[in-house]
Structures are given as C-alpha cells and as structure tokens.
Amino acid sequence: MSKYLMDRDWENGVVRYPDPAIEVIDDRFKNYIIGNAVIERICTGMRWAEGPAWFGDGRYLMWSDIPNNRQVRWDEESGQISVFRSPSNYSNGNTRDKQGRLISCEHGTRRVTRTEHDGTITILMDSFEGKQLNAPNDVIVHPDNTIWFTDPGYGSLFHYEGNLGELEISTNVYRLNPDTGQATVLTSELGKPNGLCFSPDLKRLYVADTGATHDPDCPRVIYVFDIIDDSKIENKRIFCDMGDGLADGIRCDIDGNVWSSAGWVGEGYDGIHVFAPDGDLIGKIHLPEICANLCFGGVKRNRLFMAGSQSIYSLYVETQGAQIP
C-alpha cells in the first residue's frame, strides 16, 4: 500500500492533521495546502460518478452517476443527498452557462442539452453535418457563452454507460454557439478527447486525451492549444505526461495550475495530480478510488470536489477555481 494511504482511515471521519493522503512533490504545491484541512468523503454509493458542477446560488453540488442513469445532488448546508434527475439519459459532463443554466453531455441520446430555469430541457446539439454525435463527454462554457465540448464516444461503445451503437464521425472537440446553433470543429487530432478547461486568461485550452483506452500507441497526455480570436485553436503541444495512468476531467485554478483527475494505476497514483503552469507535476491528492472528474466550488470557490468512482470527496485548498460559475 502507498505510504500516502496506509495511515489514512477512509472509513473514519477523524483524521490527524496534516492529511497523510496529500503529497508534496514540488515546494510550489505547499502554497495550496491547508494544514488543518483534510479530504472528506461526503457521499458514496454510486457506480461511476462523473461531471460534478457547483451551484453557488443554491449551495449544492450536482453530478452524474452514469451507469445508474441519474444525476445526484448534495446540499452543502444539510449534507442531504437526493436524486436531481432520473433518468438522465446517461449524462456525463455537466457545467453551467453564463445565465446559470445546467449544460449536460448525454451519452444515451448523443446530445448536449440545456436545462432551462423552468426545468424544461432544450436540445442544443445532437448531430454535425448530418451525422449523429458519438456521445458527448465533457463540457465547458466560454465567457462569450459559447459551449466547448468533447465527443470521444465512450457512451456508445457499450451498454453500461449509454447505448451501444456505431460511431458515425470523428472524435472531435467542438465549439457551439447556442444562440445560432452553429458548431465548428476545433480539432479532430486526438484519439479520445476527454476533459477540457480554459486557462485563467482564456488564452489556452487544455484537453486530456484518453485514447490509450482503445489504442495502446496513443499518448497518455494532456494537450494544450493556443486560443485564437476566442473561436479557434492552434499550436497543439503536450502540456504534461500522465505516465502509466490516464487523466480525465481537468480544471484550472486562478494561478494557472492544472488540477487533473488521475486513475487506472492503483494506490499511489489514483486521485488528483496537480501541474504547475509549466507542466511540472507539483503535488498529488491520493484517493482510495479512481478519480474521474473534479470541480471547484463552495462559497469562496476554494473547495475542491472530486468524483472518485463510487464516491464524492472534497478538500479545502488555498486557491480558487478559475471557472465561473
């Protein structure tokens, strides 16, 4: 067992400070650690938790439990867990637009949707140039309200997280204008584009490639692109290498660090890997489960929420998420 887990009792809520599951690799990570804050398991009982999104106006976190075909909600004030939506069409990634509406990637229907303030659902995109989307995966919203999302097709490769079916188009990253319905392909160069996020200055786009799940020759990396005119990307290059494992969901903090989910290796690897803006690995947050995705939330956006397979975890950190909301 990893030395970062062996002193950590995950079934007991009391943990001696500092949390032994937080690993400093580079001194730069010390700036973001709070000595008397520990990793908390706030919920368990999912089959594959994904797509956490923070609703500050309601003080709650919602996420997808993909195989159970539902979205789940955790209330920060009461700690109560409830079903947000069921069925959810095997939703995966979630975020909010500039009007606070929920944007979701649905595996089962191969579409991106918006939940309006009255609860009705608007289909934003389900096809491109006459062909059905593969199975949208993760999504972010630019300050200009355009929607950027990945479409690797995992939800169409087996029944467990969607509906088995053929992939009709390339595994693209898209930019969608929800007002006009116009969509453009940002890139089709990645094996399986997965999690994505903007840098704090909106000059760069980070995209995790998990193509190694189906192609052993696909690099296990996070790529970074330059954003041109808020509408195109170019100059693809490797930002960081994930080693033997894979990234999934990713988020930037206000200092430009990239917080990446990490998994499929085991103890000592699975959890969150934190990379400085230059791509150096500076720290790890070890979890007893594979981590699929994450987001920042809480009143001050300084609470990191981690979707760890069957559970949701949180940790207060000394930074804030760059993404608003």
Average pLDDT over residues 221-248: 98
pLDDT over 90 (residue 277): yes
- What's the pLDDT score for residue 13? 73
Give CA 133 to chain center in angstroms. Answer: 20
- Give the count of domains, the chain: 1
> Over the stretch 208-230, which tens digit does the pLDDT of each residue have?
999 999 999 999 999 999 999 99
Per-residue pLDDT band at 323 (split at 50, 70, 90): confident
Higher-pLDDT residue of 24 and 12 is: 24
- What's the pLDDT score for residue 67? 98
Q: Would residue 324 count as lying in a domain?
A: no
A 10 A CB-CB count for 255 gives 14
Average pLDDT over residues 164-187: 98
Q: Would residue 31 count as lying in a domain?
A: yes
CATH number of residue 280's parent domain: 2.120.10.30
Domain membership of residue 237 as a residue range: 22-316
Going by C-alpha positions, the residue among 184, 190, 217 that lies closest to residue 206 is 190
Per-residue pLDDT band at 44 (split at 50, 70, 90): very high
Average pLDDT over residues 32-41: 97
pLDDT over 80 (residue 167): yes
Going by C-alpha positions, the residue among 241, 224, 225 that lies closest to residue 233 is 225
Which tokens hold the place of 45? 């009982």
> Over the stretch 81-101, which tens digit does the pLDDT of each residue have?
999 999 999 999 999 999 999
- What's the pLDDT score for residue 5? 59
Q: Would residue 72 count as lying in a domain?
A: yes
Q: Would residue 17 count as lying in a domain?
A: no
pLDDT over 90 (residue 11): no
Q: Would residue 9 count as lying in a domain?
A: no
Q: Is 234 exposed, middle or buried (0-12, 13-18, 19+ CB in 10 A)?
A: exposed
Q: Would residue 298 count as lying in a domain?
A: yes
Q: Would residue 325 count as lying in a domain?
A: no
> Over the stretch 106-148, which tens digit does the pLDDT of each residue have?
999 999 999 999 999 999 999 999 999 999 999 999 999 999 9
Q: Would residue 99 count as lying in a domain?
A: yes
Looking at the chain, the whole-number percentage of residues with pLDDT higher than 90 is 94
| C-alpha triplet 216, 3, 316: angle, nearest 5° | 90
Per-residue pLDDT band at 12 (split at 50, 70, 90): confident
Per-residue pLDDT band at 7 (split at 50, 70, 90): low
Regarding pTM above 0.95, the answer is yes
Q: Return the bridge partners of 286, or none.
A: 271
The mean predicted confidence, pLDDT, of the chain is 96
